[in-house]
Chain A
Amino acid sequence: MCNQTVCLVQAAIEREGIATVSISLLREIASVLKPPRALFVPFPMGFPLGAPNNPDLQHQVIAAALQMLEHNDLPVLENFSSDQYRER
């Protein structure tokens, strides 16, 4: 339900004219709710930024999400590349 809550709060913020992007752990939910910008990540529940105490991986996920703020053709649902993850 975390993923639904994120989508609903995100929509409220975007309605106030603020650009938003969210991380999504469950494709099933974000693909139905369709928030403005969501990055699907290939991680288990409880690991939205990949791994604890792994700043490199956390920065990769954040960078991928922040890049999506430039997108204006909404909604945008992108996948965090697992190839990037494998390189580490």
Chain B
Amino acid sequence: MNSMGDAASLVTHPRSGKRRIRLTVPAASRTIRRQISPPSNTIHMATYDDLDLHVRLFMKGYPFSRYAIDPLPHAMLRRPLREARVALVTTAGLVTPEQKLFDSSIKKGDPSFREIPNTIETQTLIESHRSYSFDHTALAADKNLAFPLDRFRELEMHGAIGELNHRHFSFMGSIVGPSKLIEETAPQVARKLREDEVDAVLLTPV
């Protein structure tokens, strides 16, 4: 283990200013290691062990099975991808410069969503995700990492997909109490996508 290894460190949240002790390898140091070592040696799948101790304990005790998707919905792709209208959904808490940031103060998580116009310049999006559990610097450097709009523009240009929808949607993923998401906001977004006659959607967490 190098000097950036398993030591405890004091971290300050960039927005709330709250300070606390981080017990595991800081995500930022993992990033640095990724940059200085060849990618072939740094394959690293996220698991619960990557998360801070209190997050890990929370996740282990969280009743995920309560939200298991049952019955399983089943939609077929109605036309080949090269003819399909495609939309993106991210939970990275991205907003346009004109939009309100997501509200980090809602204890159960902010279940609202933002419409991201397809004409947006991708890197102008602002990330307002409250989670401590990931390194925010990589997403700051390239919004395509969690909202790959530029990549899909390339696919559209090359004819790999039919076209991009005129709008995409953004949530902030850290929703601990998802009842309003399940009952209201997720179905609202789904209806909008149906009204837009979207054929296929790619969803990305962060």
Contacts and interface: CB of A to CB of B under 8 A. Distances in A.
Contacts of B173: 1-6
28 contacts: A2-B174, A2-B206, A9-B171, A10-B201, A11-B69, A12-B187, A14-B73, A18-B199, A19-B75, A19-B76, A20-B75, A20-B203, A24-B205, A26-B47, A26-B48, A29-B64, A36-B69, A36-B72, A44-B27, A44-B44, A44-B50, A45-B206, A46-B135, A46-B139, A49-B144, A52-B144, A62-B202, A66-B161
A5 B171 contact: yes
Given A26-B47, A46-B138, A52-B138, A5 B199 contact: no
B133 A42 contact: no
Interface residues of B, number: 77
B154 interface: yes
A71 to B, nearest CB: 9
Interface stretch (B2-10, B11-19, B145-153): B145-153
Given A2-B205, A29-B64, A44-B134, A62 B151 contact: yes
B190 A12 contact: yes
B155 interface: yes
B22 interface: no
Contacts of A58: 144-145, 148, 151
Interface string B152-194: 1011000011000000000101111010011000110111011
A59 B190 CA distance: 25
A7 to B, nearest CB: 6
Nearest to B183: A12
Contacts of B43: 42, 82, 85-86
B39 A6 contact: no
Given A45-B46, A55-B151, A13 B145 contact: no
B23 to A, nearest CB: 16
A74 B151 contact: no
A6 B64 CA distance: 13
Nearest to B109: A1
A53 B186 CA distance: 30
Contact of A23 (B68, B176, B193, B204): B204
B138 A10 contact: no
B174 to A, nearest CB: 5
A13 B69 contact: no
B77 interface: yes
Interface in B40-67: 40, 43-48, 50-51, 59, 64-65, 67
